[in-house]
Structure 1
Amino acid sequence: MKNPDQSAADRPQMPQSYGLSPNTSGLLAWEEVENRLIAARNYWVCTTRSNGRPHVMPVWGIWQDECFYFGTDLESIKGRNLIRNPYLMVHLESGDDAVILECRAERVNEPQLLKRVLLAYSEKYGVFSDESELTSQTVFFAARPLKALAWRESSFPVTATRWRFNQKEN
């Protein structure tokens, strides 16, 4: 997947009462959003339980190759949820500088990719320098965005921006 270009950016779908302008003046640049994804320490991940209820947990992760990678135990609620239903939301901690990703996740099984992810994870957090440090239950997921939303609260709704990565699933 390649980065969306500025022409791919548009306004999110929100109620008229939010005051979004139909023109594209003030849209955020993808590079700004990507830099926030890279710099973040904590991310909120929302998955769906088998009964349809949401499950939200903070996780550590990395943004690399236009994808969000994070680890979890297969027996965790989010791990079980993702095995059953691969769709999830990823949100940065800030509500003032919001970044929200709608994603589809898959397990990272390719050994070379897992090595690159673990190296970046180790550089960022100081844990999991290689696969020998993982338990047999630890898995990493690659959460590929289908859609991204971002804005700055200080200039909302002018900066409210949406990117679509895969038109088939939006």
Structure 2
Amino acid sequence: MDAERQKKIEALLAKPTLARLATASPSGQPHVVPVWFLWEEGAAWISSYQSTRKVKDLRRNPKCALIVDLPKSEGGITAVLLEGEVELLAGSRPEVHACIERLYLKYLGPKGILKKEPQEWLNSPENLLIKLTPKKVASW
């Protein structure tokens, strides 16, 4: 992939745009949900509660896809598809908490993250990180 295209992909992934995460049930039924994500260090980081269907699906089958797209063309790249396997990172480790906090800041801003509900999410023992390291990246 050329440097200019990579730069455009990185710019799209930096926007506070909803992504859609696709997982599969044990029977192979697709499950697609909107998610917030953070793109850092060549991986997409997603915060979720351990009891959600997406996390249950990923525990059984770590393969998934994440699509990030813009509702209308702003010129250049309008969609990025990431496919790969995930790692689930739970626990109260400082680096997990810090990553979730950066993710929430991306979408809520410095004032929004201080509100009661985001603080409850951030500090919930149910919260974990889904780390998607893509094996395939497509863009258009």
Structure 2 partner of 1:150? 139
Residues 132, 94 of structure 1: alpha-carbon distance in 2 compared, 3 angstrom cutoff = closer
Which of the residues 23, 28, 39 maps onto 1:47? 23
Structure 2 partner of 1:136? 125
1:134, 1:54 → 2: CA distance? Answer: 30
2:95, 2:44 → 1: CA distance? Answer: 13
Structure 2 partner of 1:6? 2
Which of the residues 77, 82, 95 maps onto 1:113? 95
Structure 1 partner of 2:80? 99
The percent of aligned pairs where both chains have the same amino acid is: 21
How many residues get paired? Answer: 126
2:104, 2:37 → 1: CA distance? Answer: 10
**Displacement after TM superposition at 1:62 (Å):** 0.8
**Displacement after TM superposition at 1:35 (Å):** 1.1
Structure 1 partner of 2:41? 65
Give the structure with the larger helix fraction: 2
C-alpha contact 1:40 1:92 (8 A) present in aligned 2: no
Q: Which runs of 4+ in 1 moved over 4 A?
A: none
C-alpha contact 1:103 1:143 (8 A) present in aligned 2: yes
Structure 2 partner of 1:17? none
1:99, 1:133 → 2: CA distance? Answer: 27
Instruction: Show structure 2 runs of 5+ residues with no match.
Output: none
Residue type at the aligned position of 1:102? E
Q: Which has the larger radius of gyration?
A: 1
Deviations 1:4-35 (A, max 9, x none): x528xxxxxxxxxxxxxxxxxxxx61111011
Over aligned residues, Cα RMSD in angstroms?
A: 2.4
- Calculate the TM-score normalised by the size of structure 1: 0.65
- Calculate the TM-score normalised by the size of structure 2: 0.78
